[in-house]
Amino acid sequence: MSIAEIFDTMDYGHAPESRDLAVKWLSDHREKFDLFIDGAWTKPMSKKWFESINPATAQKLSKIATANEQDVDKAVNAARNAQKNWQAIGGHARARHLYALARAIQRNARLLAVLESLDNGKPVRETRDIDIPLVARHFYHHAGWAQLQDQEFSNFEPMGVIGQIIPWNFPLLMLAWKIAPAIAAGNTVVLKPAEYTSLTALCFAEICKDAGLPDGVINIITGDGQTGEYLVTHSDVNKIAFTGSTEVGRRIRKATAGSGKHLTLELGGKSPFIVFDDADLDSAVEGVVDAIWFNQGQVCCAGSRLLLQEGIADKMIAKLRTRMKNLRIGDPLDKSIDMGAIVAPVQVKAIEKLVKIGLKEGAQMWQPDIDMPNKGSFYPPTLFTNVQPAATIAQEEIFGPVIVTMTFRTPDEAVQIANNTRYGLAASVWSENINLALDVAPKLDCGVVWVNSTNQFDAACGFGGNRESGYGREGGYEGMLEVLKPTFQASAEQKRKKPLPKAIKPNSLSTRSSLDRTAKLYIGGKQTRPDSGYSLPVLSASGQKIGEVGHGNRKDIRNAVEAARKGTAWTKANSHGRAQVLYYLAENLDARRQEFAERLQTSTGASSKLSLDEVDASLSRLFSYAAWADKYESAVHSPPMRGVTLAMKEPIGTIGIICPNENPLLGLISLAGPALAMGNRIILIPSEQHPLTATDLYQVFDTSDVPAGAFNIITGYRDELALTLAEHDDVKSVWYFGSKDGSARVETASTGNMKRTWVNNGQDRDWFNPIQGEGREFLRHATQIKNIWIPYGE
């Protein structure tokens, strides 16, 4: 073929990457791997191994050990024994180790890239140019956090032993995301890689040994889901970090409920890819290629829902089909291919099942007529049109190279369709109008938004989702906070259970004739009778009846949540406006200072001085959060790209707050203050023993310009109401400060919509102490970070 003909056809030839280095490494280990525990290769006590298969050829690569419960226990013990010394060597020494790991990864980049492609099936061009450089970047970045830890996280300490479970779609990159911040902060790790793709984790273990990392800091245990379950339920693990399916995430949440384990979950997604009619369509087409056919669509944040403005829909689809005809599928080690193999035959079947459902429900499928390998686990790029927003393939994560297309007319409709999902991981917005893009991005309910780009990642920029895509962030400053705990928690003791004053049973409570003398519920800015028609007696510290409050129930919670949902004026108000209202609250509470102190004295039995001190501390706390309202601000990151990443601190939405019995006014204000300051709407369950302190606040709210629905109060049996809040799908977060058993019930019930929880597990907190009772810890729980990636330049 002549040069002129080559230029005319622009056909790519094959560009195979040599597999020799990876084959030699496997051969050196005799294609069989044990567990990596306490710095040494350790034979599994299960005496079982399973096969690792190359998905592109269906050929065996190696045998890998299966860890049983005793193996997991041994790994956790090794991590526990190593943790104190690892913490004690200090941030600078840990930084040097992380730097050494980063350099070692770069030196072994070719081996790791080829091994990842053989084991996972993804194109070597992706592992070489994206995955491995990002792995090294995470260790470099977190070496810096280790160096700065004493300055930047002076009131925090490592959590201890962290159990980590990673998926098969980005095996080594997910390992780096989890291990780098954990060990930088002084934790030790037990990591379980995915059953399908364990090889690069085992290679990394060898790199750790060669780089001189102390024994026991990183332990790699391999196996199936049962191995992961042993790690999740191990009593000596302080945190579980999981990336995987929402279904498994639910099981982990239930398994860890009440254990006191910190939990971060990065789960499934059904991310929208929104194209407006002023977008550069050719660029958007390439964006779609990167969004859904990168790693064969096996990406949790894949842009699997293509939302097109009606005016350009037909043109965009025509361009996309032309581009799909030129996609090349084949050997992952061929650097000229676009798509490699699906990870395993079972995943191919899962994709095929959902595609059949899409056809059955009336969607139209199109696949290009391109060459497909005749062996291995491959699936062609697939485009669905005529898809309804409620269709199964528009709602369920397919986790394969399948994109579904829908249309919209206006930006508001685009946002509605985009948010019409139970997930909330990522989104991509395409428009040449930056004002439009930055107007839409904050309205999308997800953790990451890419403007005129997609699948951008960096160690400095947190990544994570909302709703059923999980909670917690990995990367950057917020990612470090997920592997640290406040120092004061180490000395917190379990609460002594204080007996409630003897109360009258509900079935013998006052009748409707006495409701007029009962403190009512506060819903939507109005005092409201409880749905039950009953009231509960309130006793003084000496056991004398001093009043009655409404006996709230499930329907009252429902009404309060509906009022909060409508109370968007509070969330839309600017931060200065919210600060003003909090100052008004403090001013009006101060005007009734003596009255509230007397109420506290009667209810709790505290002295006059202590009661006045509690009111004064509450006033100070309101001033603090009025001050924070316009100062807990978003940040701008500068990742290695021509652009910036805006880390927006957003309100979570509707938060259920269950207050402690101790310090009934100060505890209430300490929790409600930060939630309100950040623009959330709240349903508050006051102290069950001392609810009149909360109901006395009605007039303070009414005279302080608190918008209807922003602050709702339901009195009654605290744990019953807490459970209802935790089960409610329109409640985005629940804060519970009560018993250990109550904390466990809230965490278990939260799995319905995978809502965030903040529970105290029955531990004491000194509400008078500013370190424990106010500040950034509270503000962090009252916000979620959305990272908006904004490229610039021509």
Q: 373: Cβ–Cβ under 8 A, 6 or more apart, which residues?
A: 56, 329, 330, 331, 341
* Cα–Cα nearest to 423, from 389, 393, 468: 468
By DSSP bridging, strand 535-539 and strand 756-759 are: unpaired
Catalytic site residue from 203, 300, 446, 659: 300
* Residue 354, both tokens: 């959902």
Task: Note the maximum CA span of the chain.
Answer: 102
The answer to whether 300 is a known catalytic residue is yes
* Residue 552, both tokens: 């709230």
Name 527's bridge partners.
522
Dump the DSSP string for 71-108: HHHHHHHHHHHHHHHHHHT-HHHHHHHHHHHHHHHHHT
Rounded alpha-carbon distances, angstroms, from residue 651 to 267, 572, 677, 680, 684: 21, 10, 9, 5, 17
Please provide the size of the chain in residues. Answer: 794
392-420 b/e with 16+ CB inside 10 Å = b? bbbbbbbbbbbbbbbbbeebeebbebbbb
Q: 196: Cβ–Cβ under 8 A, 6 or more apart, which residues?
A: 52, 53, 55, 119, 120, 168, 343, 344
- Distance between CA atoms of residues 379 and 397, nearest Å: 16
Cβ atoms of 382 and 366 closer than 8 Å: yes
Cβ atoms of 726 and 734 closer than 8 Å: yes
Catalytic site residue from 17, 157, 229, 266: 266
The answer to whether 650 is a known catalytic residue is no
* Residue 7, both tokens: 């230029």
- Distance between CA atoms of residues 209 and 221, nearest Å: 15
Torsion sign over Cα 724, 729, 731, 737:
positive
| 686, containing H or E segment | none
What's CA 732's distance to the chain center, in Å?
Answer: 12
Q: Catalytic residues, which ones?
A: 266, 300
